[in-house]
Copies of this chain bind each other. A is one copy, B any other.
Amino acid sequence: MELLKQRILQDGEIRGGNVLKVDSFLNHQLDIPLFEEIGQEFQRLFADKKINKILTIESSGIAVACIAARYFNVPVVFAKKTQSINIDGAVHVTRVQSVTTRRVYEVIVSKKYLGANDHVLIIDDFLANGCAAMGLIDLARNAGATIEGFGVVIEKGFQQGGKLIRADGVDVRSLVTIDSLDEKTGSIVFRD
């Protein structure tokens, strides 16, 4: 997605440890017209799939998922990172390790909103090591739902997540894939 590449080149900032900061437009301040382009692109990429629900995970996946859902005409369900007293009854649960904090946390989704009749598109902002992604896939499979695809805004192609999830049979489509980041030169290499 050319618009997104240009925006990353213009406003992305490279930090140590292969961190790409895009918080000026994607995951802290949110550029809604860009999100609309992102949502439409996901709709084009998954146009042949019968999708009745978008599944994502709090927090930064919610914005992308909500705007994308407008083009699919489906509801969003977002998985929550810890048990809340406001979700009672039966939930699907999986465990995810945070890369930033190393902490293992539980991720839950109510059984009322994810089940065997659902054909889900999973959406997230980043795909790097794939921990959160595999958590969402695990939740969907526990629910008996059909995973129609996995839409990612930015994939870090030099980390293992995309490879692992594709090997697991999931149709992963990334709007941009980054092959390398160089903190010293500021160079960002995109995959064609």
Contacts and interface: CB of A to CB of B under 8 A. Distances in A.
Interface string A109-126: 110110000000000000
Pick the most buried of A23, A80, A112: most chain B CB atoms within 10 A of its CB. Answer: A23
Interface stretch (A56-64, A149-157, A173-181): A56-64
A139 interface: no
Interface of A: 15, 19, 21, 23-24, 27-32, 35-36, 58-59, 62-63, 66-67, 69-70, 74-78, 80, 84-88, 100, 109-110, 112-113
Nearest to A112: B24
B100 A86 contact: yes
A76 B19 CA distance: 23
Contact of A28 (B28, B66, B87): B87
B28 A78 contact: yes
A59 B85 contact: no
A126 B12 CA distance: 33
A32 B36 CA distance: 14
Contacts of A74: 32
Contacts of A76: 29-30, 32, 63
A35 B112 contact: no
A58 B77 CA distance: 15
Contacts of A27: 86
